[in-house]
Structure 1
Amino acid sequence: MKAKNKILGPRALKKMVETARKEGKKIVFTNGCFDILHAGHVSVLEFSRAKGDVLVVGVNSDDSVRRLKGSSRPVNCQADRALVLAALESVSAVCLFKEDTPYELIKLVRPDVLVKGGDYKPGEIVGREFAKKVVRFPLLKGRSTTNIIKKVSK
């Protein structure tokens, strides 16, 4: 399947998830900005996919990233970030969201497993009430888009 065909709007995503669920597949959801893809991102995506059969990745829109990270971000536009993620073998579907959190997207997907980074406390994880299970992923030390930007800016 071409990467661009794995980038779905909410309606198509809901249909894909419903079909997968009818086939008895386990749905996993994770999200993030994924501005500059790095080893930490690949690790969390592979970890997430290992928790189920279908991995849905919510990606912050450009406006959402700017609100969360500042006016100099994102480095890569939402279309490029979505396409790069969709090209990864571990990712089944990518859906952009405009809000600051993926609450509505998680509510739509209602994943069997919701994966978030270990920097979030269990009570801080948005959308946890819509998931059957929440799993935290231990972050890789020193791996972040912010660190990459600092390094190349020197």
Structure 2
Amino acid sequence: MSYKESINKIHTFEQAKNVSENWKSKGEKVVFTNGCFDLVHVGHVDYLEKARKLGDRLIVGLNTDNSVKRLKGDSRPVNNEMFRARILASMQFIDAVIFFDQDTPQELITEVLPNILVKGDDYKISEIVGAKEVIANGGKVQTIAFVEGYSSTKLIEKIKAL
């Protein structure tokens, strides 16, 4: 994949609906997940690969820098939003990365209305933001197990201890 191709996979919130509708109009099953993905590690890769296997296209909602700061504190993110988006977009199994500035992806999920909404298994389906809307639209909500022992927070703590 070339540089330009990965850049072309990064979209604004305003482009989200068109990206999703285009794929769904072709009969493709759209999967959506979201996160900060500040320091990408093997746990993220495993999770995202498993999410992509659930459908034909994978959209990743990515918290903007402002959103990450509100959720995780002033020392985060370690990497800026464009850096994080480029890393995600370069992964062959991710079809689109879409920024959202809110604390939750509720509005983005409502725009995208994926066929399958995915979160980690640390959530109950009843707690997943956007689940009601996806189910009401005929979609499914699924959880995926994390790889034990990996998190950006643990990685930051390990680096600080060095």
Q: TM-score, normalised by structure 2?
A: 0.92
Q: 1:14 aligns with which of 13, 17, 22?
A: 17
Moved >3 Å (runs of 4+): none
Residues of 2 paired with 1:99 and 1:16: CA distance?
20
**Does 1:141 pair with 2:148?**
yes
Gaps of 5+ in 2: none
Residues of 2 paired with 1:10 and 1:73: CA distance?
22
Q: Percent identity?
A: 48
**Does 1:116 pair with 2:119?**
yes
Residues of 1 paired with 2:125 and 2:158: CA distance?
31
Gaps of 5+ in 1: none
CA offset digits 1:62-85 (Å, max 9, x no partner): 111111111110000001001110
Cross-structure match for 2:80: 77
Residues of 1 paired with 2:113 and 2:66: CA distance?
25
Aligned-residue CA RMSD in angstroms? 1.0
Residues of 2 paired with 1:107 and 1:89: CA distance?
25
CA offset digits 1:77-100 (Å, max 9, x no partner): 001001110000110000010000
Q: 1:65 aligns with which of 60, 63, 68?
A: 68
Q: TM-score, normalised by structure 1?
A: 0.97
Give 3-state SS (helix, strand or coil) of 1:3's partner: helix
Q: CA deviation at 1:130?
A: 2.3
Q: Conserved in 2, the CA contact under 8 Å of 1:111 and 1:130?
A: no
Q: CA deviation at 1:12?
A: 2.5
Q: Conserved in 2, the CA contact under 8 Å of 1:27 and 1:56?
A: yes
1:84 maps to amino acid: I
Q: CA deviation at 1:3?
A: 0.6
Residues of 2 paired with 1:129 and 1:31: CA distance?
16
Q: CA deviation at 1:22?
A: 1.1
Q: CA deviation at 1:129?
A: 1.6
Which stretch shows the higher mean deviation, 6-15 or 82-91?
6-15
